Structure 1
């Protein structure tokens, strides 16, 4: 199985930075018999042998450095597994506002069914009150529909109204 590009990139970035700051490691990092793919395989092997489902950055990067430090670590076969990489994501102010709104809506939506059930328990209407509420709702709907129709007819009448003809002076 091939190592994911994100995992490989994360390991390589760490090793590149380490080599830039540590001359002794830089020499090991340049070894011709070592490469980033096999390094990632070694890291995966160490993780699998460790038996845990999560490791700190220090542990993972430590295995990567160890791979380059030791000449007898070689011919590491690919290991199948899932890697989750922690990366900081920088959001714009607009993205932060939108994310906050979405989180608030999701949290609110989660409780709506619960609140509706609670209201059903606390509010009880008589059959007469239910019938009255239905009638009021029908009247309101009819009234709104009539207003829309009147507005539409007025708009149509304006469009069909002939233009007034100005008397010709000639």
Structure 2
């Protein structure tokens, strides 16, 4: 399984926040028979079994906690799925900062395009032709030449 590192770190953060609220949970998460990769595999298999393609954060946390709470759950092996983490709502300051960054990027792209368009175009190199060959092509016969 090629899990997204951002998704795994987000899941670990969710579990750490839960440990802060319930310190006794830290003992279950430290179980040597359980691993985060096993938890992610279990999560993916449970979501696939449910037929859903999108789940809420609370569902993810409950499935992960179920994996760590139950001793008889074994790692299902690699489950092929893509994990996407929804980003939280942005604050007004974050939106303004992103807007400024987008404007700067747009300006840079426009400047690059203007420079590219105003750059002198490469002129084709003149081909060397021999004068005799050129003269022969342009010679018109005359009736008075003998």
TM over 0.5: yes
Unaligned runs of 5+ in 1: 101-170
Structure 2: runs of 5 or more not aligned = 104-146
In structure 1, the residue matched to 2:27 is 27
Q: CA deviation at 1:98?
A: 6.4
- Report the CA distance between 1:99 and its aligned residue: 5.5
Write out aligned runs for 1:121-136 (5 A). Answer: none
After superposition, give the CA deviation of every residue in 1:8-40 in whole Å (9 maximum; x if it has no partner). 111111111211221232221111111111111
Instruction: Please give the per-residue CA displacement for 1:118-149, whole angstroms capped at 9, x wherever unaligned.
Output: xxxxxxxxxxxxxxxxxxxxxxxxxxxxxxxx
Write the distance in 1 (CA, Å) between the matches of 2:32 and 2:74. 12
State the alpha-carbon separation in 1 of the partners of residues 49 and 95 from structure 2: 41
Q: Contact 1:3–1:41 (CA<8 Å) still a contact in 2?
A: no
Change (3 A) 1:78 1:96: same
Q: Which residue of 1 aligns with 2:38?
A: 38
Q: In the TM superposition, what whole-angstrom CA distance separates every residue of 1:33-77 from its partner, at most 9, and x where no partner exists?
A: 111111111110111001011111111111001100000111221
Which residue in the other structure is 1:9 paired with? 9
Q: Which has the higher helix share?
A: 1
Corresponding residue for residue 86 of structure 1: 86
TM norm structure 1: 0.53
User: Secondary structure, in 3 states, of the residue corresponding to 2:24?
Assistant: helix
Query: For the structure 1 residues 98 and 32, does the alpha-carbon distance in structure 2 shift closer, same or farther, using more than 3 Å as the test?
Result: closer
Runs of 4+, deviation exceeding 6 Å: none
Per mean C-alpha deviation after superposition, the further-off stretch among 73-82 and 43-52 is 73-82
**How many equivalent residue pairs?**
101
RMSD: 2.3
